Amino acid sequence: MLQFEWPWIFLVLPLPWLISRFIAGQATEPEATLKIPFPQDFTFALSNTTSHDSQVKNWSYLLPAIIAWVFLICATARPQWLGEQVQLPVSGRDLMLAIDLSESMKQKDFILDGGMVNRLTATKKVAGAFIDRRQGDRMGLILFGSNAYLQTPLTFDRATVATLLKESAIGLAGPKTAIGDAIGLAVKKIRNSSPDSKVLILLTDGANTAGEVSPLQAAQLAAGVGLKIHTIGIGADEMVVRTFFGNQRINPSIDLDEKTLTAIAQTTKGRYFRARNSEELEKIYQLLDELEPVEKESRSYRPKKSLFLWPLSGALLLGLFITIKRRF
């Protein structure tokens, strides 16, 4: 769709005609110094030769000049092409996910689609659906094991965040668990955001066994910059395993440090959640949707492409044409 930013400029289109009509028309013609005694004798010749040639010559200059003037006015009016309407990401919050990739995430104590899967596989499916629902939030992804890595900086591109989470693998960041370093990295990357919009969701199945910063120290740093942390402890409380002495019931989450995870959440005004199976994990992420609701305001815009160069170029070319024609 074509539009002009300053359409009122077209009001000056008749300006050259007005100047010639009311100003140039008032100029008196100089009196001829040569008197022709019998002008009627030259009437026919002048009307058929000089007058005709003069009119043709005048129009050869006048028509390009008129077109050049119209082009110049069009360029001054700032023509723009409006594209199709585009939805802008709504202004939500800055939300980061920190996912544990330590060796203990290999434990197959979750049921998904009727089969036993490891903890990371269940997390990928549930957290991936959570990411898809967070329209309007800037999201980031931290993967941690023995070290913490920023896999995705804060972005509105949720599809990329979901893809990189899906491609993550156990042991990619090392076999141990650096919870404190993961929180510290989140603080570093999110601290310049708006104070009311910073959230970290940290998921782990163990205790802090690596890293340079303790989880509670990192939590205090997070609280200092207004970063709210929701923690999720993942893993079943009980499962049956076959041993040499027969089936035995064990606690696969014996290493889960719920006390520290609860303290982290309380220090940063967040909440701690416990996920013992896929259903509980799904409910936790649904509850997080309620605790951290997505903004509902929608915004849109239509991209604009400036077109003034086209009529301006046309006016310059016609001006050059008139100048060359006068000289030659």
Domain ranges across the chain: 1-10+57-85+302-328, 89-299
Residue 90, pLDDT above cutoff 70:
no
Whole-number mean pLDDT of the chain?
83
pLDDT tens digits, residue range 181-209?
999 999 999 887 765 679 999 999 999 99
Q: What is the pLDDT of residue 18?
A: 80
Q: What is the pLDDT of residue 42?
A: 40
**Three-state secondary structure readout of the chain:** CEEECCHHHHHHCCHHHHHHHHCHHHCCCCCCCCCCCCHHHHHHHHHHHHHHHHHHHHHHHHHHHHHHHHHHHHHHCCEEEECCCEEECCCCCEEEEEEECCHHHHCCCEEECCEEECHHHHHHHHHHHHHHHCCCCEEEEEEECCCEEEEEEEECCHHHHHHHHHCCCCCCCCCCCCHHHHHHHHHHHHCCCCCCCEEEEEEECCCCCCCCCCHHHHHHHHHHCCCEEEEEEECCCCEEEEECCEEEEECCCCCCCHHHHHHHHHHCCCCEEEECCHHHHHHHHHHHHHHCCCCCCCEEECCEEECCHHHHHHHHHHHHHHHHHHHC
Percentage of the chain lying above the pLDDT 70 cut? 79
Mean pLDDT of the region 104-109: 90
- Which CATH number does 89-299 carry? 3.40.50.410
- pTM, full prediction: 0.64
Return the higher-pLDDT residue of 193 and 98. Answer: 98
Residue 262, pLDDT above cutoff 60:
yes
Of these ranges, 34-43, 56-65, 223-232, 311-320, the one predicted with the greatest mean pLDDT is 223-232
pLDDT tens digits, residue range 16-59?
888 777 775 555 455 444 444 444 444 444 445 455 555 555 66
